[in-house]
Amino acid sequence: MSWIVRMIVVLPALAALIGLLARRRRAVAAGVAVSVSAYVAVLGLIQWVAPSRSADIDTIGGLPLGDLSVPLHLLSDRVSGLVSFVVALVVLGIQVFTVWYLRDDARYGQFAATVSLFATGMLLLVQSGDLVLMLVGWEIMGWCSWLLIGHDSERAAARRAAYKAFLVTRVADIGMVVGIVALSVRARSTDLMAVLTATGDGTLLTVGLVGVVIGVAGKSGLVPFHDWLPDAMEGPTPASALIHAATMVAAGTYVIARLFTLYAENDTARTLLAVLAAVTMVYAALLALAQTDLKRMLAYSTLSQIAIMLSALAAAPAELGPGAGISHLLGHAFFKALLFLGAGWLSVLAGGTAIVALRGRLRPTGALRWSMGIGLAALAGVPPLVGFFTKDTVIDAALEGATGGGGLRAWLVVVALFVTVVLTAAYCTRAWLLLDTPVAATGELPDTAPAVVAEEDVAVVTTADSADDAEVERVHAHGHATITLSAALVVSVLAALTVVGTLFLASLRGGVHVGLLSALLSLLLLAGGAYAVWFLSDRGRVDVAERIPGRVREPAVRGFGVDTAYVAVGRAVTTVARLVVALDRDVVDAYPRGTAVVARAAGRAGERGHRGVPSLSLLSLLVGVVLVAVLGVTAWR
């Protein structure tokens, strides 16, 4: 069975290579991308249903690194089987959807190949039983995210967003690498089993776990690294779906879940994780409420949801295991993929992703309307959709942690979770009301003039602009193409999975575990939040976000100038670099340059001493003879 595990990793890589070679032939590229991802999904299903439960599947053989053991094994169990199945399923859906979505894009081949490579990275991370392989997968995703976000590379905003994502996650990856090194040094091995069972140096353990949390914070968009994710919406919508639903941002959850037994014993790292997650989930949910763009709203909701997964790992008691976090990861994968692909479909219909442009456009669209409704409801946590079960599993786990001696950390998470439930319900209701209420009902056409004009250097966000401008251009150039059956089917299947996805989680230990009291409480909060928005927006006639004072809302749309802070950090680094260059050039290099000056001066002096006069040369000869004779005889041994 171990070949299945290896194939799951290798096949997407091969697909990426072939896709890249055949990028000019659209049909071949699409065929390879879709068929391989379908095959990988089948393999994932097999691995889940009949897991081989092996922790020493060889890959390319161990690395000979002295007394550090680097076996590079793959690890297969039920969790990795389930996660890789869901990842493969989502990737398959996205590949099928992309064939339609990027129908007019000249660089479709590269995009599909990059998606395949991205899937390789995620699947390698999921299957790896070795910290080095984990890091490799992690970095492949980082690089691919740069490629995908910057797909429309002719647009400056897309390039900027790609670089921003890459640089921000790279900076956080410093923590990841330091953490992995610390953990490996402690265990004298990079093998996951050895790392988990190693005993000894507590400081190294803390450094390692905190480092990994920092790395995860970068890729998963925890405060203060969160701002790259909304900007990443500059990428094509399928890329956003891929990054948000099951891969990159969720990968951090998986890494921490794999190391959960270590985290359960280490309060420092867990407290850090709990604080970051709690702050992020509330803050991102608040910002989601204020957004003027559907995709950016979904991005902030992703931040919030990822923080919920991580909070489960931060607060759950040791004996419960990481099941709650993993199950929310999987549930979120379904409904977030659904929402993004639905948003992509809708944007093709409406010609943009700005909420102003999308108002009321959902009403006449049948299946899409249902799908989006299901997706938003699942996001808000309406039973019996998958979102309800996974979120309440997390709440229940956190409550158990809090009552079971988790202390302040777990209570912080619990409170944050309940606040987030209210806010999530609020922004989901707002989105639904805005998308679904016919424009005629609002009485007046929205003002199309941009309310927020972006400054130079700061994230380009306006109320009227779509995050994905290329999409607008595409629609303007080619008209509102009708969706193909397969793409529509993908959205519908994802909607169906969102409804029945809970069944998947039954096999997961601690996957679904809903407490009656907490479920009731969260349902009440949900209903309250939804009702408040419904009431405040006058049954959807006005945007509830309009009631937020402008001087709060404008900076909120821009992410409260975090981008400026990033730029300032970058400027500070380059200033230091310039200082070092100046020091190097003017102080250190002065000595080598000094030798050049001395050599030139000596040459000038020497020229003055050589005038081609025989007497001078005779003089020097005599002096030389005396000198040589005296020195030679006195120093003769």
Partner 1 sequence: MKGLTIDYATLLPALVPVAGLVLVLVADLVNPRLRQLPYAIAGVAALGAAVATVPGLALGGGSTRETFCLAGGTSTRGALPSVEGLPQRCLWQADALGSTLQLAAAVAAVVCIALAWPRTRRRRPDDSTREPVEAVLLLAALAGTVVVAASRDVGTWLVALELATLPVIALVALSGRRSAVAGATQLLVTSLVSFALLVLGVALWFAGTGSPFLTPDAALSSGGAFAAAPGTASVAISQASTPVVFPSVSGGVVALATVLIVAGVGFKLSLVPFHAWTPTAYAGSSVPVATFLATVSKVAALAALLVVLRAVAVLGTPAVLSIALLASLSMTLGNVMALRQDDVVRLLAWSTVAQAGWVVLPLVSISALGVGASATYLLTYVVATLVAFSVVAVTLRDRPGRGRSITDYDGLWQRSPWRAGALVLALTSLAGLPPGVIGLVGKITALRPVVAEGWVWLAVVAAVNAVLGVAVYLRWLRAVITERVPEAGPTAGGEDHAVAATTGRRPVVVAGLVLASAVLVVVSVQPDLLLRLLG
Question: Under the rule (CB under 8 A), what is the footprint of partner 1?
Answer: 595-596, 599-600, 602-604, 606-607, 610, 612, 614, 616-618, 620-625, 627-629, 631-633, 635-637
Nearer to partner 1, 318 or 602 (CB): 602
Closest CA to 510 of 380, 388, 396: 396
| DSSP structure class, residue 54 | E
539 vs 600, which CB is nearer to partner 1?
A: 600
Q: How far apart are CA 126 and CA 76, in angstroms?
A: 9
530, with CB counted inside 10 A (0-12, 13-18, 19+), is buried
Q: How far is the CB of 586 from partner 1 (least distance, A)?
A: 21
Cβ 597 to partner 1, closest distance in Å?
A: 12
For residue 364, the 8-state DSSP code is G
Residue nearer to partner 1 on the CB measure, 577 or 616: 616
For residue 381, the SS3 value is: coil
CB 47 within 8 A of CB 78: no
Q: How far is the CB of 595 from partner 1 (least distance, A)?
A: 8
Nearer of residues 60 and 636 to partner 1, judged by Cβ = 636
For residue 67, give every residue at least 6 positions away whose Cβ sits within 8 Å of its Cβ, in sequence order, or none.
188
Q: What's the closest the beta carbon of residue 585 comes to partner 1, in angstroms?
A: 19
Backbone angles phi, psi at 279, to 5 degrees: -60, -45
**CB of residue 594 vs partner 1: minimum separation in angstroms?**
12
CB-based contact 119:214 (threshold 8 Å): no
The CA-CA-CA angle for residues 567, 570, 574, to 5°, reads 135
Q: Which is nearer to partner 1, 551 or 608 (CB)?
A: 608
Taking the C-alpha atoms of residue 212 and residue 482, their distance in angstroms, rounded to an integer, is 45
**580 vs 602, which CB is nearer to partner 1?**
602
3-state secondary structure of 189: strand
Q: What angle do CA 134, 138, 141 make, to 5 degrees?
A: 145
Phi-psi region of 25 (alpha: psi -120 to 50; beta: other; left: phi over 0): beta
Instruction: Give φ, ψ of 446 to 5 degrees.
Output: -65, 150
Question: Beta strands 63-65 and 68-70: pairing type?
Answer: antiparallel
On whether the CB atoms of residues 166 and 146 are closer than 8 A, the answer is yes
**Shorter beta-carbon distance to partner 1: residue 50 or 621:** 621
Closest CA to 126 of 246, 303, 230: 246
What DSSP string runs through 62-106?
Answer: -EEETTEEE---EEE-HHHHHHHHHHHHHHHHHHHHHHHHTTT-T
First-to-last alpha carbon distance for the chain, in angstroms, is 80
CB of 589 to partner 1, least distance (A): 14
Nearer to partner 1, 203 or 634 (CB): 634
Specify the residue, 568 or 621, whose C-beta has the smaller distance to partner 1: 621
Quick one: 60 or 613, whose CB is closer to partner 1?
A: 613
Residue 382: CA count within 13 A, CB half-sphere: 19
User: Least CB distance from residue 620 to partner 1, whole Å?
Assistant: 4
* Distance of closest approach, residue 606 Cβ to partner 1, in angstroms: 5
Q: How far apart are CA 376 and CA 358, in angstroms?
A: 16
DSSP β-bridge partners for residue 69 = 64, 189
C-beta closer to partner 1: residue 479 or 624? 624
Choice between 527 and 601, CB closer to partner 1: 601
